Structure 1
Amino acid sequence: MARHRDESVPFSVIFGLPAEVGMRVAAKALNLSMATAYKRAKLGDFPCRVRKEGRVYVVGLHDLMRGLGIQDVRVRYDDFEAGARLADDGSGF
């Protein structure tokens, strides 16, 4: 399937970030101790949406980014490719 030049993808996808993270990563990103993170998750007071898979808590990356106030902006392929060319031209700028 041919790609249209005006297509865009989320920033997180371009950099290969995982779709989900575990409680340890989420707690560290939110500057919470593990004990506080688990306590808040059990009380339904975690700073972002969390779900339980078996005995493990999982946080969607998009939800974590939103909880941190980070917007997962969409990046156009043309802009990404132009930036890669600029970085690869050896000029340093």
Structure 2
Amino acid sequence: MAFSAVFGLPVEVGLRIAAEALNLSLTTAYRQVRNGDFPCPVRKTGRRYIVRLSDLMRELGIQDVRVSYDDIEAGARFAGGEADT
């Protein structure tokens, strides 16, 4: 899974997406969950395994940084060649 694609994921993901992001086969991911060895905390909801995106990002070494609208606007102005005010 591409680094940039991780930022488009919902707050919680299923085991298939988490395994893909961690470059694991789904079979390996299920085995790790059963053995308690999956790299991220996993919770079971009904028949599904759920991983929080923040835990997945932490495991991938991606810093969870909040960006404000003002930061985005300043970045757009900078990219457009305007001086920072």
Give the alignment's TM-score, normalised by structure 1: 0.70
Q: Hey, which bits of structure 1, 4+ residues long, moved more than 4 A?
A: none
Q: Which runs of 5 or more structure 2 residues have no equivalent in the other structure? A: 1-6
Deviation at 1:37, TM superposition (A): 0.2
Give 1:68 shift: 0.7
**1:27 correspondence with 2:45:** no
Alpha-carbon displacement from aligned partner over 1:34-83 (angstroms, at most 9, x marks no partner)? 00000101111101111100111000000000111111112233111222
Aligned pair count reads: 75
- Of Structure 1 and Structure 2, the greater strand share is in 1
Q: Identity over aligned residues, as a percent?
A: 69
The answer to whether the aligner puts 1:59 opposite 2:72 as a matched pair is: no
Bigger helix fraction: 2
Output the aligned Cα RMSD. Answer: 1.8
Counterpart for residue 81 of structure 1: 73
Unaligned runs of 5+ in 1: 1-14
Question: Which TM-score applies when normalising by structure 2?
Answer: 0.76
